[in-house]
Amino acid sequence: MQQILNFIIRNKNFLLYLLLLSLAIFFTIQTHSYQKSKFINSANFLSGGIYTRLNNINQYFDLKTQNEYLSDENARLRNRLQNYHISLEENYVDTTGFDGSYLFRPVLVIKNSYSATTNILLINKGSNDSIQQDFGLITPKGILGIVDKTSKNYATVISILNSKSKISAQLKKTNHFGTLTWDGISPKTVQLIDIPKIAPIVIGDTIVTSGRSVIFPKGIQIGTIESYKLDAAENNFEINVSLFNDMTNIEHAYIIEHLDAPEINNILNLSNEQ
């Protein structure tokens, strides 16, 4: 017993170092397993509050671009509204719109990162505004990510520029679908993998969300095909997608809530159990 105590006292620095290092690595591994990091995230009052103050100041420097951006979107929506009235008069039902019922909420991205391999965004609304895990985040130009952690007033979003992120996407022209991932290199391009070899791929084609998960509706734009090659097994295509969104300059965004998601998940779980 005496010897054990002596050993601990003699090596107390090294033991403390090992303890702290393993604690840090434990936190790291937790963030690498999706949806499990409980302790270390920026959706808390300290970092959330500081980022909100910083964003209040930074907003002013970017007002002009963001205004143009929003008025662009208004114009586009006005166009669609006008066409919609016309199509109603012609007694024609638009079946290409989003199916299911989706609720959009405007949010501000108060912290954006794109230089690490696991990038996480912070938005200024949380569980008080009924934001929950697995809601989608988009801008008018394309998708941004999926909500991960929420606190009362803030939520973290796993960006599509995150090597953990896996989102179902497809070609706009045909229904061949694959998984959207990121290789951690450029914030302008992401990778679409597992597209079957038989799919007709042309450089410049548009990639959209597939609507196969309950997070994003079908048909939200992502980007265009920049280049493609066969993967190692030579069965599937690996496509480099250049994003419509400028991921380095993001402020106004929308949270998408799929109102039928609980029902769909429920029935999926039921059939999985059988």
Is 184 an interacting residue with respect to other proteins (CB under 8 A)?
A: yes
- Output the CA–CA distances (angstroms, integers) from residue 176 to 96, 147, 197, 240, in the order listed: 18, 26, 10, 16
Is 170 an interacting residue with respect to other proteins (CB under 8 A)?
A: no
Nearest distance from C-beta of residue 104 to other proteins, angstroms: 25
Is 118 an interacting residue with respect to other proteins (CB under 8 A)?
A: yes
Is 113 an interacting residue with respect to other proteins (CB under 8 A)?
A: yes
Q: Cα–Cα distance between 36 and 39 in angstroms, integer? A: 9
Residue 162's region, left for phi above 0, alpha for psi from -120 to 50, else beta, is beta
Query: With CB under 8 A as the contact rule, which of the stretches 37-45, 128-136, 206-214, 226-234 interacts with other proteins?
Result: 37-45
Asked if 148 and 158 count as a contact pair (C-beta separation under 8 A), the reply is yes
Q: Cα–Cα distance between 148 and 164 in angstroms, integer? A: 12
Is 248 an interacting residue with respect to other proteins (CB under 8 A)?
A: yes
Between residues 24 and 268, which has the closer beta carbon with respect to other proteins?
24
Q: Which of 122, 131, 192, 207 binds other proteins (CB under 8 A)?
A: 122
Is 37 an interacting residue with respect to other proteins (CB under 8 A)?
A: yes
Nearest distance from C-beta of residue 25 to other proteins, angstroms: 6
Q: Cα–Cα distance between 68 and 143 in angstroms, integer? A: 19
Is 189 an interacting residue with respect to other proteins (CB under 8 A)?
A: no
Is 117 an interacting residue with respect to other proteins (CB under 8 A)?
A: yes
Is 109 an interacting residue with respect to other proteins (CB under 8 A)?
A: no
Between residues 48 and 178, which has the closer beta carbon with respect to other proteins?
48
Q: Cα–Cα distance between 160 and 118 in angstroms, integer? A: 9
Between residues 66 and 118, which has the closer beta carbon with respect to other proteins?
118
With CA atoms as reference, report the closest residue to 207 among 242, 237, 231, 235: 242
Query: With CB under 8 A as the contact rule, which of the stretches 7-15, 87-95, 219-227, 231-239 interacts with other proteins?
Result: 7-15
Is 27 an interacting residue with respect to other proteins (CB under 8 A)?
A: yes
Q: Cα–Cα distance between 271 and 43 in angstroms, integer? A: 35
Between residues 48 and 136, which has the closer beta carbon with respect to other proteins?
48
Query: With CB under 8 A as the contact rule, which of the stretches 70-78, 114-122, 171-179, 255-263 interacts with other proteins?
Result: 114-122
Q: What is the dihedral of CA 80, 82, 86, 89, to 10 degrees?
A: 110
Residue that has been written with the tokens 């998408």 in this structure: 256
Strand, helix or coil for residue 94: coil
Asked if 42 and 109 count as a contact pair (C-beta separation under 8 A), the reply is no
Query: Is the Cα dihedral 202, 249, 141, 175 positive or negative?
Result: positive
Is 13 an interacting residue with respect to other proteins (CB under 8 A)?
A: yes
According to DSSP, residue 170 is labeled: E
Which stretches of the chain bind other proteins, using CB under 8 A?
A: 12-14, 16-17, 20-21, 23-32, 37, 40-42, 44, 46-47, 50-51, 54, 113-118, 120, 122, 156, 163, 184-187, 248
